[in-house]
Amino acid sequence: MSQSQPTTAPAFEQRGGMLFAFAAYGFWGFMPIYFLVLAPAGPFEIVAWRVLFSVIFCALIILVMRSWGALRRLLRDRRTMLTLGLAGVLVFINWQVYVIAVVSGRVNEAALGYFINPIVTVLLGVIVLHERLRVTQWVAVGVSGVAVIVLAVNYGSFPWISLALAFSFGLYGLAKKRVGPRVDAVTGLAVETAWLTPIAIVQLVFVGATTGVVFGTAGVANTVLLAAAGIVTSVPLLLFAAAARRLPLIVIGFVQYLTPILQFLIGTFILHEAMPLERWIGFSLVWLALVILSTDMVHHTRSVRRASPLPG
């Protein structure tokens, strides 16, 4: 029995990790439906409540888990606090653009942004971290660039929603990478949204002075769903954190495509957003770039493993 434990335990951990990963990315994939049922609340009010209730929900988790010590240590780390403040601004931009896209009937453009995100992450590695790309990675970047041009010509305007989502989330990932494992998911989100609280309050004041705040005026169901924005924001992050501790990065890299695939299916077949031939071509080019990038990632990982000396 003792000899079988080392092999069965990792397998059990990976199965659990896969469940957590699919739950997290599936949660994010169905997010457009959640934001649509929040009507008549507008995108600026939705994001403001998302920030405020995320702070409250994270504070409750920290209280229940009695992890105030980790929060106190983090508050004394000025550099990490500032990095999380920057991360908060980036995720705020991401949330705001995403909700605007959903409520304005542009879910497929949002999905495209998350399809492009892995390519943008690779490109940011060159620009920000001065990494060197392999030839196939450059090919993937080039193909995705052609896709953006095709889509821009099709839309008659720059696909700003897709690129804003891809770059804001890519830069958010870089900011989070700076703090690394020193900050857990709940504490990090608590600090990020705490930084954003003044912005959320100003945003609610602006909404109240213009279109009027919907919260508490559109029925019990609408109020509960708006209040649940903190839970909806935090739960998939916790699931993702649990998956990341159990799965190799390459597996996470493949599962992440579940989110934009679900968003694309929702936009195309449930919300019936227009998909003319030119848009199919643009999306197909992005998917081709992802196939090239994924194939290169698998090949490179296998090469590294073969080149690594065997233990013992």
Query: pLDDT at position 159, please?
Result: 85
Query: pLDDT at position 309, please?
Result: 56
Classify residue 263 as exposed, middle or buried by CB count within 10 Å of its CB (0-12, 13-18, 19+): buried
Query: pLDDT at position 7, please?
Result: 43
Query: pLDDT at position 91, please?
Result: 93
CA 108 to chain centroid, in Å, comes to 16
Q: Tokens 């934001």 identify what position?
A: 35
For 65-118, the DSSP string reads HT-HHHHHHHHT-HHHHHHHHHHHHHHHHHHHHHHHHHHTT-HHHHHHHHHHHH
Query: pLDDT at position 312, please?
Result: 43
Greatest pairwise CA separation for the chain in angstroms:
69
Query: pLDDT at position 3, please?
Result: 46
- Is the whole model's pTM more than 0.85, yes or no? yes
- Are residues 246 and 16 in contact, defined by beta-carbon separation less than 8 angstroms? yes
Query: pLDDT at position 307, please?
Result: 65
Instruction: Mark residue 41 as left, alpha or beta (left: phi above 0; alpha: psi -120 to 50; beta: remaining).
Output: beta
Q: Which of 7, 29, 19, 55 is nearest to 251 (CA)?
A: 19
How many whole angstroms separate alpha carbon 201 and alpha carbon 91? 17
Classify residue 144 as exposed, middle or buried by CB count within 10 Å of its CB (0-12, 13-18, 19+): buried
Q: Which of 11, 55, 42, 53 is nearest to 194 (CA)?
A: 55
Which residues of the chain are modeled with pLDDT < 70? Answer: 1-9, 155-156, 249, 304, 307-312
Which strand (E) or helix (H) includes residue 48? helix 43-65
Query: pLDDT at position 26, please?
Result: 95
Domain chopping of the chain, boundaries: 17-300
